[in-house]
Amino acid sequence: MKRRIALREGDITQERVDAIVNAANSALVLGAGVAGAIRHHGGPAIQEECDRIGPIGVGEAVVTGAGRLPARFVIHAASMPPGGAATEASVRSAFRRSLELARERGFRTLAVPAIGAGIAGFPLQRCAEVLLEEARAHLEGETTLEEIRFVLFGEPAFRMFEMVNDAAKVAESVARLRGETP
């Protein structure tokens, strides 16, 4: 089975995948940014389910239904406390847990935003580096995921992820040419 990472500019709430990842806060309140778009397009059922589950720890993730979204599920990756900021450790942990939940549920396709890089204030380039690194590592291991699709809102975010992904591919090629294991 060929596993892949895909990059797309667009609205994550319109993706037809097994699950989309929400850049969530630990209270699981669907406020602004990606979470607000999920609330708007998915309807009240998602927030109601979050209210029954939350709060969760920063760096954790949980699964809910997707309401009226075309995705089947939403994985809420809590990279920050309400009104707080995301850190590299919280972004990495929340995304890693999201990937584990996707594997546990047998998901094949997952759409992911720039977790922590919006309202939570995590630097976009470092976000791209962390998320792409975690995605590659996950796809190299035991998983049911066939595609991790990063769906970025706006061209600047898309271009940053594209640049970081291209740089990783170049580094991998150079390592192979040198006979090193990437």
Give the span between the Cα atoms of 159 and 137, in whole angstroms. 22
Could you read off the pLDDT of 19-69 as tens digits, one per residue? 999 999 999 999 888 999 999 999 999 999 999 998 999 999 999 999 999
Burial class (CB in 10 A: 0-12, 13-18, 19+), 138: buried
Helix, strand, or coil (residue 74): strand
Strands (E), 53-155: 61-65, 73-80, 109-112, 147-152
Q: Does the pLDDT at position 1 exceed 80?
A: no
Could you read off the pLDDT of 73-87 as tens digits, one per residue? 999 999 999 989 999
- Confidence band (pLDDT; 50, 70, 90) for 127? very high
Q: Does the pLDDT at position 182 exceed 60?
A: no
- Evaluated on CA atoms 35, 36, 41, 46, the torsion sign reads positive
The mean pLDDT value for 99-125 works out to: 95
Instruction: Tell which residue, 72, 85, 143, has the closest CA to residue 111.
Output: 72
Please report the domains of the chain, with CATH numbers, ordered by start residue: 4-177 (3.40.220.10)
